[in-house]
Structures are given as C-alpha cells and as structure tokens.
Chain A
C-alpha cells in the first residue's frame, strides 16, 4: 500500500487532469464558451434535465387498437364484396372483437368460400366449422406489424409537427408497444404543443346530404350512408353545436395534400392547400359535378366548414375558410402539412417546468452544494487537521471528476441529481473517514506511522468496498426502475460513489504517502 509506482501516479494524475479539462467548460455560460473558449479543448457542458432548464415532458399513448379496428372494418367490406361477387349466400356478417364472423346459408359452398377468402388477404387467417360458421382474424404477425408501423408512423408525424413549431432539440422516443415519450426543452407554450400533438388531423372532403331536413337531423333519422357530424365551432342560437348531415363517402382524402399554408382572404385568416396530381384530378371532378352544392371539410370528425361550390376547382388547390384566427389557421396548416396520425393519441403524463422555476432550482442547487461543501470541508479540517486537508483535496477532486464524467457521458443532471451530488459530498468523505479512523486505531495499537498507514489503508479497503457496493446496488436499481429526474439522481449517486472510492483509495493515499516519505514523522497528526 505504501509502495507506489511512478506509472500509477502518472495514470491517476492523468485521469484527474482529463477530468478537470472536461469539467471546466461548465464554469462558463454557453455564449462565452462558444465565442472565446479554445476550439481544441472539450467544450461539452452538463446536460440539464427538463426540471432545470424548463420544458415539457409528455408521455403519449397511441390508441393502436383503433388502427386494428379500422383494418377489421375494411375487412368486413372486402368479405362482403368477395362473397357477393361469387354469389355465395351468408348471414350475420359483422365484426366481433377483432374478428369478422358470418354464417354460410348454403353449407355446400363451404370449401368454395374458404378458398375464396383464404386468397383474399394474406394477412388474414380463415377458420370455419362444420356448420358453416366462419371466423376471420388477422394473423399475429400482421397485428404486430400493424402496431409497430402505426407507432413508427406516429413518431414520424409527431417529429414533423414538432419540427414545424421550431422547438430546438426535442427528444422523441418510442416506449414499449404503444407509447411515445416526447421531451421538449425550453418551450414557452406547452398548451399549444399539446393541442398540436393531441390532434389526429385526419382531413377529408365530403358532400352534404341535402335531402335530410333539419327535424330529421335533430331526431337522428338519417338515410344509410349519411352521418351526423358536429361543426367545429359553429353554434346555434341556444349555444349548442350545429350539426351537419354528411355523406359517409370520402370524396377526396387529406392524404393527397402536398402543401398547406395559412394566409388571408378578405382580411380573414384562412388556410390554403394544394393536392398532388391524383388528388387534384379527383377534386376537380367532384367540384365540377357538384357546383352549387355544399362541400364539407371534415377534420377529426368535425365539420370545419361546408362552403357551397361556386365553380369547378381544377387547379388542385383551394382555401379552407372557417372561424380561424391567425394562430388557429397557422396550426391547422401545420397539422395538414405534417400529415395525419394513423390513430388518435392520448396524453398519459405531463410534466412541464417553466423556465424561471428551472433557473431558481439551479441557483438553489448551486448554493446548497457550495454551502454543503464548505461545511464538510471545514469540518474535516477541524477534525483531522493535516489529514483533513488531504481528505478535502480528495473531496474537491471528487466533485470535479463527477462534473467531468457527467459532461463526457452527457448524462442528464436533474434537480434530484443535484441532491445526489450534495449527498455525495457528505458521503464521499466516508471512505477517508474509515481509513483515518483505522490508521488511528493502528497507531493506538502501537504501530509506527508507516505500518499504521499501511495497515489502515489495507484493512479499510474491504470495508469501503463492501459498504459502498450496497449503496451502488441501490443506485443501480433506481436507474433501472426510475424515470426522468429520479434516474438523474441515480446517475449522480452512482458516479459519486465510484469517484469517492477512487479519490480516497488512490489520490489521498498518494498524497499522504508522499508526505510521509518526505517528512518521516515520528508521530502522525491524527
């Protein structure tokens, strides 16, 4: 323990020097760092968590079963069409759970129907019994693929929407089967973003059913193929939302949109849009055939407006006018540009911290760390004298290494993480305390300074190792099971434990051995 080789000292000194290099950028603010800091030095700073720099953490859930339901609904139509085309009689064709069921009227045709349906769709599994009851379901791999592609697509759309708003450095992560974690540092209006993310933005153009009278509409007596949809923000005299009878058939779908921009028309905010070639063709034909009729623009099951077609629109672009203000026109245009989500989304969890609370937390954390540090430094000095100074050097170095490691690893520092550092300040001296107390004991047992130091370090080592390992276990578990801020706490705590062992077992030992060999004291000032 007392024999220290030169290369050991060099390695330890190098580690410390590199840590200092990596820690130093954190002393500057971002601007002066990019301006005047030498390029060839590392300039990464500690990554601040959302709770310190302000921002929003949103956990979103994609309602993926909706995608599957849509798929099954389409399958019902396909099955109906196929059976009719082959003149195979059936009853009770419907969706049940995530399957399609029906009963053959003529059991003789069971084989024919089975063959027909088996070829219909390779993602579908067909089962039947002797009585001619058929059950069609999606294969497991098809379900898994649907789910995963819906999630992937949702992430893509969300990224596009967020990018359009100009938020810097968003984090968008897939979590589990149907969740997306979105972290938006430093945003000033989380409500707007939540509105943007929460919209499915499925747009379609429908004809309005003009055969339905107002009283029929109110009573819900609608011909098949027509549905009752509420207006987005129009209300009647009583303040209830206005309803429209809308033909179910989609004339043109929003998928064909290629661009959409907010603009003004007669001093009113509107949204213009442009279709791709096939969309433009469809749109032109529909408007040509329906001049003089109202044409409804439906977004997420609500009628934005239903203007009367004045003339055929052949250019493939048009204007949506509604009850917009500048902001809502801009948002709608953004949503249409970014595209529709494959399924609706729910916000499961939100944590938003305003920038001033974040700044306050950083200040409080800094002050608490510095005062805690000062208190411990003074205490150690008073209690152990010269040895206390060595422990203090180790402690300060310890903090520098923690800061350097956090910068290099780009680990996220959170408020609980700062608490973890403060706690480390208190606990980091533990290793040195164990060693010093042990040396003291050995001195009392009659050993010479040299042999007491030797024995003290050796014997304290197992204790330090065993006891710190238990705390490391706690930090590790916290990291695995924790989320966000708690994880940040686990990281600083874990790093702090490791570095405190390093500084106590190596740095403080080297210093003390050097001092011992130089001065060769008769007694140790412990």
Chain B
C-alpha cells in the first residue's frame, strides 16, 4: 500500500546549531511586535472598548454608501460600516456613546429607526451587540487574569513534573507565542475581542502541549544517554519527536483550514489567530523551548528540591557518577516518567566514542541495554 511520507526516518537535523540566529530572529520579531502594540495598538472590539455592533442582512446587495450617509447624520460619533462575508451582509460598528448604558440603548433605537425609515422592509437584524463601559472594563480584567493564571498554572505543573529550568524554557516559548500573536493582530488590525483572548489561551495550551512532548523526550534521553553533551542530546530529542510534531501540527492545521474556509465570517478572526498560533507554537517548541534549555543554565535552580518522585537512592548513584557536568546532573535527577522498564537505574557505560558517535550506534546500544535488562528482570 502506498504510504505518505513527510518526515524521513532517522532525521538528524542540527536544529540547535541555528539557535543563536533563530533566537535573534525571534527576538527581533518580538521587539517589532511590542513596538507595533505601542505604536499602532490593538483594534479592540466592543467587548473591551464598549460600543455597539449591528449586523444587518439585506435582500439585494446592500448600498453601504447610502447607509453610511444615513447613519452618519445621526451624530453618533464614529460609525464604521463594512461588508461582512457577503454583499447582502453589512456590519455596523458604532463607537461607545458618551453617558451611561442608557445612552447606548437610545443610540441603538435611533439606528434601527433610521435604518427602517430609509431601507425599510428589506432589512433583517442578524446580530445586535452592545457592551457598556463597565462590563468592558470587567471583561478586560477577567481576560488578563485568565491569561496570567493559566500560564502560571501550566508553569507550576511543568516545574512539578520536570524541573525549574524546563519551566523557564517553557515560559520563554509561551511569551514568544503570545507576543507574536498580539503583534500579528496589531499589524493586520484584526479585531481583538473575547474570542481572541480564548484563542490566545488555547495557543498557550497548544504550544505548551508541543513543548511538553519535546521536554518529555529530553527528560527521557537525559536518563538514557548519560554522557552525551547537552547540545547534542537536545538535538536528538528534537529529532526524535520531529515527525510527531509535524504530523500533529498538520492535522490541526487541516481542521483549522476547514474552519477558516467553511466556518463562516463570525469566527474567521478566531480561526486566523489559531492558525497563526499553531504555526508559531510549533516553531517555538522546536526552536525556542528546546534551545532555551541551552541558555537557561540549569544550575540556577539547584537550590530547588527535586520535583515529585525522585528517590534519594537515585540521586546518590548520580552523585557517584563523576561526569563533572553540573547541568547534566540536575537533569538526570528527574523523576521517572513511567514506572516500567526503569531505564533510569541502568548503570550502563556508554563510551564517549559511542555517545558522540552516530545515532545508529547509540540506538543499537540503548536497545541492547533494554534487552539485557529485560533478561535480568526475568531472572
């Protein structure tokens, strides 16, 4: 049977070799995003700004010009009209009216009266939304709290399940994703509303998901190849998980593409945010999160107790293992990801030649080790 192949077996791409260049590239993009956020700002929707949004459907293609004149005469401040998805669909945005909630309701009544008078029976109201200033402020607050809290919770989780340096690496990647997404919204002036906050939270979740998969492999490999230099070990880990990363991103993008094309106008911006987030999140977990482990010297977290499940015995054997590399020791004291096979207490000697040698020989070694161990277990 013919089979689609996207990622060749046994890739050995030196991702980590590009890390400085890519760090610089990402840093520039982040700075640009922040500058954009300050200079251009986000195009806040009525959820946050307060204001009125009315979507009307017409029978014949709408005469937006005439509508603009009609509504412009009402003296409601800034009124913007745009075609929304089809020629018979018009989205009207009206800025927040001075005064309290009452004033907004009055404005809605005026707009409806004016539209009915001039365009009459052919109009249908598809959507009317109005958010008062008080609610808008609360929604901003809730959005920020949600964002900060979810990032914090995920980091605590990573810290608990992995180690502090991993949590630091993950937060760098997350910040990267969030800032670039905000920057993209500022650049294209896409409407930033509640749904987009949800999308960003989801991007955070997705990116973290990807990052965890890579980190999980780093953790495993740290136990497996005890003497491999960190840079190479990270590289091996990224390559090991590469096909999964690519395939999952692809299937997610396939589904999102369907949503973008067929999902309708209302959630278009949401879908764009998600697509962007998947791309950026995948990039960041491969190039930023993993590479960050090179930069975040794990020694920084050495005063932190080993997370979770680490046993004293294991730590002891590691101390005896005099490889002189503090960083590697820290990583290697990580808890076992699973309770089977227990690769972690193998006292296998991997010769420096092997460790630095081809991946094939490494793999051969590790599988040989496993087989030996199973045999031991049986006895």
CB of B191 closer than 8 Å to a CB of A: no
User: Across the two chains, which residue of chain B brings its CB closest to A364?
Assistant: B264
- B208 near A379 with CB under 8 A, answer no
Q: Which of B125, B143, B158, B274 has the most CB of A within 10 A?
A: B125
A210 to chain B minimum Cβ distance, whole angstroms, is 34
Name the A residues within 8 Å of B202 (CB-CB): 423, 471, 474, 478, 493
Name the B residues within 8 Å of A426 (CB-CB): 248, 251-256
User: Across the two chains, which residue of chain A brings its CB closest to B208?
Assistant: A470
Name the A residues within 8 Å of B356 (CB-CB): none
Name the A residues within 8 Å of B157 (CB-CB): 469-470, 473
- A477 near B216 with CB under 8 A, answer no
CB of B80 closer than 8 Å to a CB of A: no
Name the A residues within 8 Å of B251 (CB-CB): 376, 379-380, 425-427, 429-430, 433
Name the B residues within 8 Å of A191 (CB-CB): 108-109, 112
A416 interface neighbour in B126, B129, B244, B270, Cβ under 8 Å: B270
- A444 near B9 with CB under 8 A, answer yes
Name the A residues within 8 Å of B274 (CB-CB): 419, 423
- A360 near B264 with CB under 8 A, answer yes
User: 1/0 per position for B221-262, CB-CB distance to A under 8 A?
Assistant: 000000000000000000011011001101111111111011
User: Across the two chains, which residue of chain B brings its CB closest to A446?
Assistant: B367
Segment at the interface with B among A3-11, A294-302, A342-350: A342-350
Bound CA–CA A61/B101 (angstroms): 10
Name the A residues within 8 Å of B280 (CB-CB): none
- A473 near B205 with CB under 8 A, answer yes
Dominant secondary structure at the B interface: helix
User: 1/0 per position for B1-28, CB-CB distance to A under 8 A?
Assistant: 1111110011000000000000000000
Name the B residues within 8 Å of A462 (CB-CB): 216, 337-338
User: Across the two chains, which residue of chain B brings its CB closest to A479?
Assistant: B146
Name the A residues within 8 Å of B204 (CB-CB): 474
- B146 near A481 with CB under 8 A, answer yes
B239 to chain A minimum Cβ distance, whole angstroms, is 11
A335 to chain B minimum Cβ distance, whole angstroms, is 17
User: Across the two chains, which residue of chain B brings its CB closest to A367?
Assistant: B262
- A463 near B212 with CB under 8 A, answer yes
- A347 near B267 with CB under 8 A, answer no
B68 to chain A minimum Cβ distance, whole angstroms, is 22
User: 1/0 per position for A380-405, CB-CB distance to B under 8 A?
Assistant: 10111100000000000000000000
Bound CA–CA A51/B195 (angstroms): 13
A419-B267, A461-B338 known; A441-B208 Cβ under 8 A:
no
- B243 near A437 with CB under 8 A, answer yes
CB of B322 closer than 8 Å to a CB of A: no
- B153 near A477 with CB under 8 A, answer yes
CB of B183 closer than 8 Å to a CB of A: no
- B124 near A481 with CB under 8 A, answer no
Segment at the interface with A among B71-79, B131-139, B294-302, B324-332: B131-139
Name the B residues within 8 Å of A485 (CB-CB): 194-195
Name the B residues within 8 Å of A478 (CB-CB): 146, 150, 198, 201-202
A419-B259, A458-B338, A485-B195 known; A467-B126 Cβ under 8 A:
no
CB of A371 closer than 8 Å to a CB of B: yes
- A346 near B100 with CB under 8 A, answer yes
User: Across the two chains, which residue of chain A brings its CB closest to B53?
Assistant: A351
Name the B residues within 8 Å of A369 (CB-CB): 258
A residues 80-120 near B (Cβ < 8 Å) are none
- A353 near B132 with CB under 8 A, answer no
Bound CA–CA A19/B154 (angstroms): 31
- B248 near A385 with CB under 8 A, answer no
User: 1/0 per position for A488-506, CB-CB distance to B under 8 A?
Assistant: 0110010000000000000
A433-B247, A482-B146 known; A356-B338 Cβ under 8 A:
no
User: Across the two chains, which residue of chain A brings its CB closest to B249?
Assistant: A426
Bound CA–CA A295/B5 (angstroms): 89
B residues 55-75 near A (Cβ < 8 Å) are 55, 57
Name the B residues within 8 Å of A463 (CB-CB): 212-213, 216-217, 337
Bound CA–CA A371/B258 (angstroms): 6
- A475 near B205 with CB under 8 A, answer yes
Name the B residues within 8 Å of A419 (CB-CB): 259, 263, 267, 270-271, 274
User: 1/0 per position for A432-445, CB-CB distance to B under 8 A?
Assistant: 01100100110011
A383-B3, A445-B363, A461-B338 known; A437-B244 Cβ under 8 A:
yes
Residues of B within 8 A of A (CB): 1-6, 9-10, 55, 57, 100-102, 104-105, 108-109, 112, 124-132, 134-135, 139, 142-143, 145-146, 149-150, 153-154, 157-158, 161, 194-195, 197-198, 201-202, 204-206, 208-210, 212-213, 216-217, 220, 240-241, 243-244, 247-248, 250-259, 261-264, 266-267, 270-271, 274, 337-338, 340-341, 363-364, 366-367, 370
14 CB contacts below 8 A, A to B, read: A59-B135, A348-B101, A368-B264, A415-B264, A416-B267, A422-B256, A422-B263, A426-B256, A437-B247, A446-B367, A461-B338, A474-B208, A482-B198, A486-B194
- Name 18 extra pairs, CB < 8 A, besides A383-B3, A422-B258: A198-B105, A351-B130, A354-B124, A356-B124, A360-B264, A365-B263, A380-B251, A429-B251, A434-B244, A445-B363, A459-B341, A462-B338, A463-B213, A467-B216, A481-B146, A485-B194, A486-B197, A493-B202
